Amino acid sequence: MGKRAPPPWSADDAARAWVHHLAPDGGSVAFVVRRQGVWAARSVADLVDGVWHAHPDVAHTLLRGRVVTNRPASEVDRAVVQVCGRKLGAGVRGAPGAVPPLEVRWMDEAAAASRVLHVAASEVAVPAGDLRAWLRPAPDDAPLRHRDRPIRAVLLGADGAVLAAAANTNGRHRMRHAELNLLQRWAKPLPDGATVLVGLQCCRMCAAMLVDAAEGALAVRFVDPEPGPFGRHTALQPKGWEQAL
């Protein structure tokens, strides 16, 4: 047995006091409180992105704490925390209260830097012809971990033209799947009738982000099924937008 958990009312009072402390004007905030300090940003996605960018060696441990936000949870918020964190407490209203003297580190600039870095690092040129093998190349070294394997994603317009392409860069940043990099490289809504081709079936996080970015209908075609639990119950599946290639 581990340490006894504090009673829930105590954690919720602390969360309300931190919301009040970090966003006294009622602006949006997301944060995680740990023994070592408080990490905060203006959105759940920026918090997780910034923590992985700024602290790649300990991000996994930091994000085991409950991510708290004063905004209602979006599908993207929920999925980001499921894939890259642990628990989400959303819609927490601020209330005055004492907070412990912990250092607060704002992660918005780290999230912006992460975006610039990974948009550049994920650049790939799309070859002509059948893309199947290119989307999911076989690893050249046997002991490569699954998440370090190259996975590529391509956005095609309704006419089949290549609009954008990206590789995953998540060797040291858990959030940086090919689809997120693709969305940030494109940096616009996905046009009606677009298709996303991807080497590995979308996880819940990427599926939620693709649905969120789609202006109309979207088709997603994957090469290999995602064997883990995050490939199931994604936002794409109830829409019927996802199929094997």
Shortest reach from residue 179's CB to Zn ion, in Å: 6
E runs forming strands in 74-151: 87-89, 104-106
Closest-CA residue to 94 (of 28, 175, 160, 2): 28
Shortest reach from residue 137's CB to Zn ion, in Å: 17
Residue 84 or 156 having the CB closest to Zn ion: 84
E runs forming strands in 7-91: 30-34, 37-41, 66-69, 87-89
Residue 19 or 81 having the CB closest to Zn ion: 81
Residue 30 or 206 having the CB closest to Zn ion: 206
Residue 29 or 203 having the CB closest to Zn ion: 203
Q: Which helix (H) or strand (E) holds 128?
A: none
Shortest reach from residue 193's CB to Zn ion, in Å: 23
Residue 34 or 239 having the CB closest to Zn ion: 239
The reply on whether position 177 binds Zn ion by CB under 5 A is: yes
Cα(126)–Cα(97) distance, rounded to whole angstroms?
55
Shortest reach from residue 2's CB to Zn ion, in Å: 30
Shortest reach from residue 42's CB to Zn ion, in Å: 22
Shortest reach from residue 200's CB to Zn ion, in Å: 8
**Binding segment for Zn ion among 47-55, 88-96, 150-158, 177-185 (CB under 5 A)?**
177-185
φ, ψ of residue 51 in degrees (nearest 5) = -65, -40
Question: Phi-psi region for residue 133, left (φ > 0), alpha (ψ -120 to 50) or beta?
Answer: alpha
CA 58 to chain CA centroid, nearest Å: 17
Closest-CA residue to 166 (of 207, 115, 123, 196): 123
User: For residue 136, what is the DSSP state?
Assistant: S
Q: Which of 203, 209, 213, 214 binds Zn ion (CB under 5 A)?
A: 203
The reply on whether position 200 binds Zn ion by CB under 5 A is: no
Q: Which of 41, 206, 223, 235 binds Zn ion (CB under 5 A)?
A: 206
Instruction: List interacting residues with Zn ion (CB under 5 A).
Output: 177, 203, 206
